[in-house]
Amino acid sequence: MNTSLLVTGSIGIDTVRTPYGVSEDCLGGSAVYFSMAASFFGPVRFVGVVGADCPFDLGEVFAGRDVDLAGLEVRPQSKTFRWGGSYAENMDERTTDYIELNVLAEAPPPVPEAFADSELVFLANTTPKLQLELLGQVREPVFVAVDTMNCWIQDHLGDLKSLLAKADCLIINEDEARLLAGEHNLIKAGRIILDMGLGVVVIKKGESGSLMCSADGERFVLPAYPASEVRDPTGAGDSFAGGLLGYLAQSGKTDFATLKTAIAYGTVTASFTIADFSLQGLTLINKTDIDSRLENLREVTSF
């Protein structure tokens, strides 16, 4: 029996430019990528908000997948979040061309009463104030994971620290970890971040893989999956989190050993996302493909 898993985050209309092409007005957003990735492992409770201009039918997008959209709100007088980004030739450097918060600048969507008993919660990237408000609507979560980004670290640090004191796990990239900790060395940065009240911090290092540190002093390092196809890295971090939390929900455990396997599942799930634009890399696969790639990752990392 899966542990209940709730995600709240953005639903976006994205325009993405990479050396492999342009995808205009495609479906994006942290909650969308997370839910698609997590749905390979079990049911997902989805909380998000769009405006009347949203061209996507999320019921169709998630057809055949166990994603409960009872927490999806459509605001007739609002506009959907929009984001545009361009990737450099090396695919590591990304420039934000424009960002229109629109509905994300408003009050958060309510968490349905049926979702208030959720045990695992992923607060995808949005303002820490909204993340705190949303977390306050879940009664007694067992494990809360949080994502954030550089602009919230720089401009909303007080709210972010209040949030981290109530969370169990922070999932961020290496630049954000250094910024939050004020420390370049990632091992030291991990310790500083853990002292903010967390049990675990997971630091994503792009093509260099990931580093996990626990408050108990345990560490785990895993390289990225050796992917030959990288067409669009958008959503990779949220897919990583979806695979990670999805596996935790499936296993019903959040101890360090289970988290290590969860990180491996997050890693291989994200490797499918980056192979194509928008959600196409995830919609054309099944759980068997993910399991097969996990075994492959296990083989190439054992010695």
> What pLDDT sits at residue 244?
98
Average pLDDT of the segment spanning 211-236: 94
Confidence label for 17 from pLDDT (cuts 50, 70 and 90) = very high
Average pLDDT of the segment spanning 229-258: 96
> What pLDDT sits at residue 150?
86
CA torsion 224→86→62→36, rounded to 10°?
20
Q: Is 218's pLDDT higher than 80?
A: yes
**Lowest model confidence (mean pLDDT) among 88-92, 241-245, 272-276, 298-302:** 88-92
Q: Are residues 293 and 227 in contact, defined by beta-carbon separation less than 8 angstroms?
A: no
Q: Is 238's pLDDT higher than 80?
A: yes
Q: Is 1's pLDDT higher than 80?
A: no
Where residue 245 sits, what CATH number does that domain have? Answer: 3.40.1190.20
Average pLDDT of the segment spanning 55-61: 97
Q: How many domains does the chain have?
A: 1
Q: Which of the two residues, 91 and 44, has the higher pLDDT score?
A: 44
Q: Letter for the amino acid at 56?
A: F
Domain span at 201: 5-301
> What pLDDT sits at residue 109?
94
- How many Å apart are CA 141 and CA 128, to the nearest integer? 18
Average pLDDT of the segment spanning 276-283: 94
Provide the β-strand partners of residue 125.
none
Percent of the chain with pLDDT over 70: 100
> What pLDDT sits at residue 303?
86
Q: Are residues 44 and 35 in contact, defined by beta-carbon separation less than 8 angstroms?
A: yes
Angle at CA of residue 173, ends 229 and 129, nearest 5°: 125
Average pLDDT of the segment spanning 193-213: 95
- How many Å apart are CA 225 and CA 300, to the nearest integer? 9
Average pLDDT of the segment spanning 250-278: 97
Mean pLDDT of the chain: 95
Question: How many angstroms separate the Cα of 209 from the Cα of each of 8, 75, 264, 267, 278?
Answer: 25, 39, 10, 8, 22
Summarize pLDDT for 69-116 with one digit per residue, the tens.
Answer: 999 999 999 999 999 999 998 887 888 899 999 999 999 999 999 999
Q: 124 CB contacts (<8 Å, ≥6 apart)?
A: 7, 8, 9, 10, 30, 31, 34, 147, 238, 241
